Structure formats: structure tokens, C-alpha cells
Amino acid sequence: MKIVVCIKQVPDTTEVRLDPKTNTLIRDGVPSIINPDDKSGIEAALQLKEQCPGSTVTVLCMGPPQADVALREALAMGCDEAILLSDRAFGGADTWATSSTLAAALKKIGYDIIITGRQAIDGDTAQVGPQIAEHLGLPQISYVENIQVESEDTLVVQRQFEGFYHIIEIKTPCLLTALSQLATPRYMTVHGVMDAYREKEVKLWTLADIEDTVDKANLGLKGSPTRVMKSFTKQAKGAGTVLKDLSDDEAVAAIIAKLQEKHII
């Protein structure tokens, strides 16, 4: 089986801080990571490869040249091939244009199974996976928490929804979006890291490499139906009452009085 995992390099948002003076994101020194759901997808792909001898895992990333690091990490985990889609023409893309670009590259790469993360922690949209599937005319299953290979061309997948889950049979080729609980990513080995930098390569693909599989009008900022009108930091809600130095009983009395005043109890 040919498995392709689409990954995104994201800032580690648990590290993101706001500048108290300017109210803007402090990006300096914020580490970049492989988006967690995508990394779970890489691990799931590697496990599928181990189960199905002869399979290969290709990892595909659209991003700036710095995303090379994320792809090297994927190679060090054991992926066979890495492709970085990077071109100014792809910049400023919304999910529609991003998925068009990735779909164009996927047409060139070929696939039996495409795995994307459910969503990226910077944008949280969860849209690119399903949108790639639509561009390629593939069935999709999102929120995947378990994958079993049933036969050469059939997977049985557990998909989580709120309050229930589905067990679904799906034929390849198909696209799955991975939850972070799908698989716990393995660590890179020393050997793997050496290979990733010495033996393996990250192929750089630009617009020229996908030109014949995509309409240029669908790429980047120009190909994006949506645009950001403005962005701003959130205002905290107006201050309430903070009580301190109360005994526990006084605290309980204060709470009950307030809840009664507000007709909550």
C-alpha cells in the first residue's frame, strides 16, 4: 500500500504568549513542532506499513522552507519519502486553496491511503482533510481513533463522534483524519536522525512540479475564497467581585447569597 501523510508545521501554541504592551503574539523563540494530530497520523501510517509488508509511507508538507525540519523529523521516525511543497504562489492560502494545492501534489504522488491530522493547533479548522478528499473524489472518514486492515483494499475504522462512535468499513483509496489518540508517536532513533539528514532527502516541489494537475487560479491568496478582514486580541470580561481572607463558612455563605441574588438557586 502507498500511504501518504499530510503534515503541517505549527508553532507550539501552548508556548504562545501575548506581549502585554502591544497585545500581539510573541513569536520569537516559540518552538515549531509537527502538529500533534498529524504526528499521530504518521505513527498510524508507520504501523500500517509494519502490518502490510511492501507498503511505503510518504510525508507531504506545504509550508515555508523552514518546514524542512518537520519533514526530517518524520523521516527520522521512519517515513520513506518526504516532499516539501513550497512556493510563493502557495502563500496566504485559506483551507480551500491549501487543499487544492495538496490535492494537486497528491495526484502526482499517487496513494492508496491518505492520512491527515484532524486539525492543526494554530488554525483549529479541521477543514483541509475533508476538502482534499472532495478535490480527489475520495471517501473520507474523519476523527479516526483506530484503523484495522481487513484485506488488501478494505479498512475497518473506528470514528469518534460526540457521545458515540461508528465502526466503518471503507475501501481504498480513501482519506482518513487522525485524532491524537489514534497512535502515540514513536521517538526518533539516533540512527533514524542520522539517516534523515545523511541518507534520505526532502524533495522540494514548487509550482512547476504540480502545474499540470491544478488550475493556478485556485492557489494561494488569490485562490482563497475567504480573507481575513481584521484580527484582534480578546478583551477580558469586566471584573466581578473577588473575596479573600474569608473563613470557609463565610465563603459558603457569600456564595449562597450571590447565587440566590442571581436566582440561580
Partner 1 sequence: MSKNIYVYAEQRDGELQKVGIELIGEAKRLAEVLDQKVYAMLIGHNITDQAAALIAHGADGVVVVDDPMLKDYVTEPYAKAVTAIIKEKDPEIVLYGATSIGRDLAPRIASRIHTGLTADCTGLSITEDTKLLAMTRPAFGGNIMATILCENHRPQMATVRPGVMKAFEADPERKGEVEIFKVEFTSADMNVKIREVVKAQHKSLDITEAKILVSGGRGVGNAENFSKLHDLAEVLGGEVSASRAAVDSGWMPHDRQVGQTGKTVRPDLYVACGISGAIQHMAGMENSEFILAINKDEAAPMLQIADLGIVGDLHKILPKLTAALKELKEQ
Element (H, E) at 12: none
Nearer to partner 1, 46 or 219 (CB): 219
Contact in structure between 45 and 58 (CB atoms under 8 Å)? no
Nearer to partner 1, 54 or 225 (CB): 225
Least distance between partner 1 and beta carbon 221 (Å): 13
Part of the chain binding partner 1 (CB under 8 A), chosen from 1-9, 45-53, 62-70, 245-253 = 245-253
Least distance between partner 1 and beta carbon 39 (Å): 15
> Does position 234 bind partner 1 by CB under 8 A?
yes
Cα of first residue to Cα of last residue in the chain, in angstroms, is 60
- CB burial of 135-148 (b: ≥16 within 10 Å; e: otherwise) equals bbebebbbbbbbbe
Using CB under 8 A, which of 50, 153, 167, 191 touches partner 1? 167
Nearer to partner 1, 154 or 189 (CB): 154
**Per-residue x/- marks for partner 1, 2-41, CB under 8 A?**
---------x-xx-x-x------x----------------
Least distance between partner 1 and beta carbon 28 (Å): 15
Residues 175-194 that bind partner 1 (CB under 8 A): 181
- Quote the CA–CA distance of 121 and 228 in Å, as a whole number: 18
Using CB under 8 A, which of 50, 124, 153, 211 touches partner 1? 124
Residues 31-90 that bind partner 1 (CB under 8 A): none
Pairing of strands 81-85, 56-62: parallel
Contact in structure between 49 and 57 (CB atoms under 8 Å)? yes
**CA angle at 187 for the pair 141 and 154, rounded to the nearest 5°:** 25
Nearer to partner 1, 54 or 137 (CB): 137
Nearer to partner 1, 162 or 199 (CB): 162
> Does position 198 bind partner 1 by CB under 8 A?
no
- Orientation of helix 128-136 relative to helix 95-109, angle to 10°: 50
Using CB under 8 A, which of 31, 53, 161, 187 touches partner 1? 161
Backbone Cα Rg of the chain: 23
Residue 223: closest CA among 138, 100, 49: 100
- Orientation of helix 68-77 relative to helix 36-51, angle to 10°: 30
- Quote the CA–CA distance of 199 and 62 in Å, as a whole number: 22
Using CB under 8 A, which of 32, 56, 127, 146 touches partner 1? 127
